Structure 1
Amino acid sequence: MATITQDMRYRLSLIKYADKFGVTKAAVKYKTNRQYIYRWKRRFDGSIESLRDLSRRPHSHPNQHTPQEIKLITDMRRRNPDAGLVVFWVKLMRRGYSRSIPGLYRFLKRQGIMAVHPPNPKYVPKPYQQMDRPGQRIQVDVKFVPSACLVNRQLIGERFFQYTAIDEYSRWRFVEAFEEHSTYSSALFLEHLVKAFPFPIECIQTDNGPEFTNRFTTHRDKPTLFQVHLEQHGIQHKLIRPFTPRHNGKVERSHRKDNERFYATHTFYSFEDFAKQLTVYNRRDYNNFPMRPLGWKTPNQVLRDYSASV
C-alpha cells in the first residue's frame, strides 16, 4: 500500500476548509494562493490518492536512443549474450554506435539486458599434509623490521631483517636478526638453525625470493649459497607456488603475531639491541606459549613429549 505523505494530508485539510469557509479564507489561513487551492480542488476526486504528486519524469528526451540504435543494440546483444559492458560497447562502436559507455550502461540496465556472468569457480584448497615427526618440514621466511621501531637517528635509512623458521609438527620456532637480506644471510641462518633444532631436518620450505633460490633470476640454473648448504646437510628444498604466501601460512601467521606482540610495543636503538630483544621475545613468548593447534601445549612441550615417546 502506498504511503500517505504529509503533503497529501495538508492538501486534504486545505480542500475541506475551503469547502466549508471558502477559498479566500482557506488561502489566508493556510498561507497560500487561491490558484493553488483551485488546482487541487479540480484534481481531487474524493480519494486521498488523487492528491499525490505526479511524476515529473519527461516522457521523452532529445538525446534518447534512436530506433536504429535500439535495433543495433538488441541485435548485437542477441548475438553476444555474455559480452561484458566494455567489450559490448567496442563491438557497437565498430558498427557506427556513438554513445558513451555510461549511456549504454543505463540503456542496458533499463531494458534488463545486461550480461549475467557466472560466478568464478571457488578455490578448493588441497588437504593439508599433517607432519608425523619434528623436522619433517620446516617453513622459513624473512620479515622486514618496521622502520618505525628504529628510534636512533643514526639508523635512518637502515634496514633490519628477521629470519624465521617454524617446524610444522611442533610449531617450534627459531628466529635470528640480520642486517643483510641475501643468500649469504640465508645460508648462515641455516647453519644456526641446524645447530639449534634438536632433531634432524629433512625438508625446508621457502618462497621464491632471491635470498633462497635463483628460480626467477638470470642465473636460474645456478644454485644459491643457501641451496648449496642445504645439499651439504642432505636437506630437501621445497619451493612454494609463486605469489601464494598462504602455502607458507604458519610462518606468515607468526609474523603477523610478531607485529601485535613485539614490534607494536618495542623500539630499537641499535642492531645489537634489536637482536637481543628478538631472542628474548622468541624464547619467552613463543616457544613457551600454549597453542590451540597443539592441544594447548607449548612447542617445547610437544618436542619433549615426542622425545619421550621414541
Structure 2
Amino acid sequence: MQLTTVGKPLLKAANQASQLEQAGAGDPVVAERLRKLKLVETLRKKKVPWDEVQKLVGISKATYHRWKKRLEEQDLAGLKPKSRKPRKLRRKVHWKPDVLIRIERLRKQNPTWGRWRIGQRLHREGYTLSERTVGRILSYLERSGRVEPVSAFLARNRKARLRRKSQRPYARRKPAEYTALRPGDLVQVDTLWVDLGDGTGLRQFTAVDTVSRWGTAGVYSRASAKTALDFLQQLVRRCPCVIRAIQVDGGSEFMAEFEEGCRVLGIELFVLPPRSPKLNGMVERLQRTFRDEFYTRALPLGIEAIQGELEGYLEHYNLHRPHMALGGLAPVEYLAKLQEVSVPLESQMY
C-alpha cells in the first residue's frame, strides 16, 4: 500500500512498534494490540485524521482509548481479550420423567398443538409448569427426535393430501394427440351457479359436444357426485350421437359416483389441469349464453318448473338457433348434414 499522507514516518513507527511485540511475546494478540497502539500514537503525532488512522491501522477511536486505558490500569494483562461468556448462565434443569412422557404423549395425540395449548391441558391435570418451560421441553423433544415439529407435520400432510387428491382411479389427462373429429368424440361438461335473486340459487350441469355444438343442461339444488351421475345418465339418453369421451375440471362433483358411471358406460373421462378453464372453452361459452338468454327471463319457482322451461329453451337452441361456428346452422341441422339425412320436424330428444 502506498502511503501518500504519512510516508516514511509510518514505516519508522511500525519498526518501533515491532519492538513492543517482545513484551507480549507470550500472547500474539497482546503483541498485535501493542503494535497498533504505538502506530496510532505515531500517526496522531503527525496529525493524521482519525478516519485515515482507522483505515490504516484497523481500529476505531473508541477502541484505541479503551485499550490505552486498560493498559495504563492493568499493564499488559489489560490487553488480553476478555471472555465473552455470559455472566449469568441458565441452569440446566432436569425435568421429571413423568412430565416429559406426558408432554410427549399430548403432542403425539395432537400434532399441531403448541406450548400454550399443551400448557393449558397440563394445568387442568395439576401440573405447575409455565408456558416457557413447556416450550423448552417441546424443543428438547423435537431435537431428540421424539416428537415431530408442527411445521414438518403440516408440510408432510399437505403433500399427502395433494397426492390423494391427484389419484383418481379412472380419470386422466387428455392426451395431446387426442383430437375430436366426429360428433361424440369429446363432450365438455361443467357446472354453473345461478343466483335466482330471492336468496336462493341452483346448480346447473351443462354439456356441449365440441364437434356439433349440441348442448344440454340440467338444474339441481346442489352439485354433488350423485347429481352429476344423474345428469350423466340424462346426457347419454338425450345425446343424438354416441359419447366416447367427456372432459371436466377437477371439481369434486366429477369424482366418485360420476367417475364410476363413466367407467361403467365405457366413456373416457378427461380431467383438466388446475386453473385452466380455457381448455373447456366451449361449455364455458355455452353457460354464458344461458346467463344472457335464459336466466334473464322471468322464471317459475321450483327446480322442476325451471327444468321444464329449460327443456323448451334447449329445443330452441339445438333445433333453430343459428350458430356462427356451424355456418349459420343449428346443431341438429349440422348433425343431419353430417349424416346426409333430412332434418326431423320434431325433436325426439326432449
Alpha-carbon distance in structure 1 between the residues aligned to 2:319 and 2:269: 24
2:191 maps to 142
Tell me the residue number matched to 1:268.
300
The change in CA–CA distance for 1:244 and 1:286 in structure 2 (over 3 A counts) is: same
**Aligned equivalent of 2:208, options 150, 162, 166:** 166
Q: TM-score of the superposition, structure 1-length normalised?
A: 0.50
What are the equivalent positions in structure 2 for 1:1-310 lying under 5 Å apart?
131-148=180-197, 150=198, 156=199, 158-213=200-255, 224-308=256-340
Structure 2 contact 317–330 (Cα < 8 Å) conserved = no
The letter for the 2-side match of 1:182 is: S
Are the equivalent residues in 2 in contact too, given 1:146–1:263 (CA < 8 A)? no
Structure 2: distance between partners of 1:240 and 1:233: 21
Unmatched segments (≥5 aa) in structure 1: 1-126, 151-155, 214-223
Tell me how far apart the structure 2 counterparts of residues 174 and 189 of structure 1 sit (CA, whole Å): 10
- Paired residue type of 1:193: L
Given residue 297 of structure 1, which amino acid in structure 2 is its aligned partner? L
Alpha-carbon distance, 1:128 to partner: 11
The offset of 1:285, in angstroms, is 3.3
Structure ID, larger Rg: 2
Deviation at 1:288, TM superposition (A): 2.4
Shift of 1:287: 4.4
Deviation at 1:267, TM superposition (A): 2.9
Matched residue SS, 1:204: strand
Aligned position for 2:122:
none
Distance in 2, Cα, partners of 1:128 & 1:257: 30
After the TM superposition, list the runs of 4 or more consecutive aligned residues in structure 1 that deviate by more than 3 angstroms: 127-130
Task: Report which structure shows greater RCO (CA 8 Å, sep ≥6).
Answer: 1
Q: Tell me: CA distance 1:128–1:301, structure 2 relative to 1, closer, same or farther (3 Å).
A: farther
CA change 1:138–1:275 in 2 (3 A) is same
- CA-CA distance at 1:232 after TM superposition: 0.5
> Counterpart of 1:298 in structure 2: which amino acid?
A
Decide whether the 8 Å contact of 1:187 with 1:225 is kept in 2.
Answer: yes
Cα distance, 1:265 vs. partner?
Answer: 2.3
**Secondary structure in structure 1 of the residue aligned to 2:262:** helix
Deviations 1:42-83 (CA, angstroms, capped at 9, x unpaired): xxxxxxxxxxxxxxxxxxxxxxxxxxxxxxxxxxxxxxxxxx
TM-score (structure 2 length as normaliser): 0.45
SS of residue paired to 1:162? strand
% identical aligned pairs: 29
**Structure 2: how far apart are the matches of 1:230 and 1:167?**
16
Q: CA deviation at 1:255?
A: 1.0
Aligned to 2:292, the other structure's residue is in SS state helix
Compared with structure 1, are the counterparts of its residues 140 and 281 closer, same or farther at alpha carbon in structure 2 (3 Å cutoff)?
same
